[in-house]
Amino acid sequence: MQYLPNIVFAIVLIAGIGFFVKNVKKLARNIKLGKEVDVSDNKSQRWKNMAMIALGQSKMVRRPIAGFLHVVVYIGFIIINIEVLEIIIDGIFGTHRVGLKILPTSAYGFLIGAFEVLAVLVFVSVILFWIRRNIIRLQRFWKSEMTSWPKNDGNNILYFEMVLMTLFLVMNATDVHFQDLNSGNVISQFIEPWFSGLSNSTLHFIGRGAWWVHIIGILVFLNYLYYSKHLHILLAFPNTYYGKLQPKGQLNNLEAVTKEVKMMMDPNVDPFAAPPAGTENDVPAKFGASDVQDLSWVNLLNAYTCTECGRCTSECPANQTGKKLSPRKIMMDTRDRLEEVGKNIDTNKGEFKDDGKQLLDDYITREELWACTSCNACVEACPVSIDPLSIILDMRRYLVMEQSAAPTELNNMMTNIENNGAPWPYNQMDRLNWKND
Amino acid sequence: MSELLKVPTMAEFMAQGKQPEVLFWVGCAGSFDDRAKKITKAFVKLLNKANIEFAVLGTEESCTGDPAKRAGNEFLFQMQAVTNIEVLNAYEVKKIVTACPHCFNTIKNEYPELGGNYEVMHHTQFLKTLLDDGRLTIEGGKFKGKRITFHDPCYLGRANNVYEAPRDLIQKLEAELVEMKNCRRNGLCCGAGGAQMFKDAEKGDKEVNVERTEQALEVKPEIIAAGCPFCNTMMTDGVKAKEKEDDVAVMDIAELIANAQDL
Ligand code: SF4
Ligand code: SF4
């Protein structure tokens, strides 16, 4: 029976990690539903972007308060979790504070002391975050797309961190042996008196309890990620790596269209001849995007990475002037639809069965799409290199090239370009008239 | 005055067996829009003044396809692009300058993949090099001490990271450059991009150009400087909507410099 805790621990650990791996696989499969794009170029620039933007959080700090608090929580959380290593070893082997056996007391004390300080810093930052969200009610957290789950999700993680940090400190404060060492209990020594008068066995019980809840909490947190915008703590890295490198104004040229245009313009091609064998595969079934499978896999990775921070939306000129468009909502819709498609595939044994729905209209309305000025403010604002504009553009392409469903004025503009080489109904032969006006 | 404008075409250069230093891509707005034509002329005056051998395509120029592309019509865009590239390549054009950030962006970034490789400059960048090289000088401080704010065109600024050239030019005028609350990479769109110029805006509380004009008026400028014919129209409309047209002028940087010279 003495091994029971070790066995229970191992089971909890394996179950927690196993479930996480399962979800990661599903995540990868869903992202791969997107269309292939070549992102193998410019590796050094990509690594640099990842280091600067994801690791260095260079774009986070453009909003100094949020940026600073975020850096504290980020660094604190990562470093404190070194402690998890000790927890896992202790849990599996039934040891207690194995670090003390390996390190000199002073070194161990230094480490734990640093963790305790960070825990307090994280705790305070998280409280400030909570206040910004719920009391100051920063506008971008109270837009129409931020209801129910997206709203709770943001708070949940804050509560989570508060609890985890508290547990860590309580764990130390109730550890009589650790307190007796009087090394590294920089914060927990002030918490210890709260428990004075309790018997050693009660203290031990509380300490063990905190220890168990702490590790289970971390496993729950890990598995919560998949369902949450907090997936960004993992995906920010690949996402910034694969982020757009070209100038923001450069929109991709559809290759399939290039082929068709070349054919149309080539005087040597007989337009009525049957296409040579094998070429029919070159023409895509669809121009532009009406559902998530038509988007590139980078778009889909973007959707899973979105932190729903709303920096894009708060910079968007359309949104600022009360139009329906919100680039954050574009990303959230894409993720929601992708999840729905993923579940559909799961229930239909690996195959997607038409569910009569699509990203266009069922999630993203045409009104939203047509309100975009392609100004790239959203792309500039995003702290994790997400490009909502490319999704908007691909969906407009579908509307125009597949459905001929552009607003009338735009159709007029396009007819003018086709006929007169200008968006207005002027004659191309008058193009130099300004000279003599 | 206008009869003094020298505007040779590529065809004329070709006929003489010569190449101009630079092709001036006028753009649809610069060719047809009454307000934008003034910008075109101001820029030509500066080119003439600096004795630049330039040429325009004239009737051989066609829309770059920018509004079609951004509206989602990739077919029409590529048809326009390929046609334009054929003309440009036939004239062996190497260097292009344009006063329209949309033309600038499209030719610079989207044409290369389709076979059109040129050195492309926005007219503010080009003017800056002329000043730096001493080929053009600004004298006479008509705008000296005037409060001027610059509206960053999205397709010049964020889209292509050109922020300083237009500002350097304003400073050369010894004017007082005041920045709006949203400027440079945080600039607010004028509302015309992405083919919005050619349609009514979606329902909202406000027009984007009015919002942007309010930001501009907040810094109490005498002049709102623009570097894009579409921004120019949008800001002019915004100023009118705010009934400030008697106090605040909207001018392109090329016009500012040409005016300072009394050209
Ligand atoms: S590119 Fe479109 S969605 Fe993005 S900020 Fe500009 S208008 Fe909004
Ligand atoms: S797209 Fe980027 S800026 Fe917009 S909400 Fe998501 S993470 Fe934030």
**Rg of chain A on CA atoms, in Å:** 28
pLDDT at A276: 55
Could you say which ligand is closest to the alpha carbon of residue A390? 1
pLDDT at A266: 75
In sequence order, the β-bridge partners of residue B98 are B25, B122
Q: How far apart are the CA of A412 and the centre of ligand 1, in A?
A: 23
B26 to A431: CB separation less than 8 angstroms, yes or no = yes
A261 to B201: CB separation less than 8 angstroms, yes or no = no
- Residue A146: band (very low, low, confident or very high) from pLDDT cuts 50, 70, 90: confident
Q: Over range B230-257, report the average pLDDT.
A: 97
- Among B110, B198, B210, beta carbon nearest to A413: B198
What does residue A361 show for φ and ψ, rounded to 5 degrees? 75, -50
A376 to B198: CB separation less than 8 angstroms, yes or no = no
B59 to A428: CB separation less than 8 angstroms, yes or no = yes
Q: How far apart are the CA of A367 and the centre of ligand 2, in A?
A: 20
Does the model's ipTM exceed the 0.90 cut? yes
* Distance in Å, alpha carbon of A142 to nearest chain B alpha carbon: 18
Residues in chain B within 8 Å Cβ distance of A421: 28, 61-63, 80
pLDDT in tens, A107-119: 999 999 999 999 9
Q: Over range A8-25, report the average pLDDT.
A: 94
A-B contacts at Cβ under 8 angstroms: 222
Rounded to 10°, the helix A148-173/A200-224 angle is 150
**Spatial distance between the Cα atoms of A329 and A312, rounded to a whole number of angstroms:** 10
- Residue A151: band (very low, low, confident or very high) from pLDDT cuts 50, 70, 90: confident
Question: Looking at the predicted structure, is the pLDDT value of residue A282 above 60?
Answer: no
* Distance in Å, alpha carbon of B23 to nearest chain A alpha carbon: 14
CA distances from B258 to A247, B132, B168, B254 (A): 31, 17, 15, 6
**Spatial distance between the Cα atoms of A299 and B209, rounded to a whole number of angstroms:** 30
What's A90-149 look like in SS3?
HHHHCCCCHHHHHCCHHHHHHHHHHHHHHHHHHHHHHHHHHHHHHCCCCHHHHCCCCCHH
pLDDT at A274: 56
User: To the nearest whole number, what is the mean pLDDT of chain B?
Assistant: 95
Q: Over range B90-105, report the average pLDDT.
A: 98
- Residue B1: band (very low, low, confident or very high) from pLDDT cuts 50, 70, 90: very low
**Spatial distance between the Cα atoms of A103 and A97, rounded to a whole number of angstroms:** 10
Q: How far apart are the CA of A339 and the centre of ligand 1, in A?
A: 24
Q: How far apart are the CA of A81 and the centre of ligand 1, in A?
A: 38
- Residue B2: band (very low, low, confident or very high) from pLDDT cuts 50, 70, 90: very low
pLDDT in tens, B232-245: 999 999 999 999 99
More confident residue, B231 or A285: B231
In A266-387, where does DSSP find H-type helix?
297-305, 311-315, 317-320, 327-347, 359-362, 366-370, 377-381
The answer to whether residues B53 and B250 touch, using CB atoms and an 8 Å cutoff, is: no
pLDDT at A277: 52
pLDDT in tens, A3-12: 888 899 999 9
Ligand 1 binding site (Cβ under 6 Å of any ligand atom): A 315-318, 325, 327, 372-378, 388-389
Q: Which of A46-50, A175-179, B39-43 has the lowest mean pLDDT?
A: A175-179
The answer to whether residues A372 and A389 touch, using CB atoms and an 8 Å cutoff, is: yes
Residues in chain B within 8 Å Cβ distance of A430: 31-32
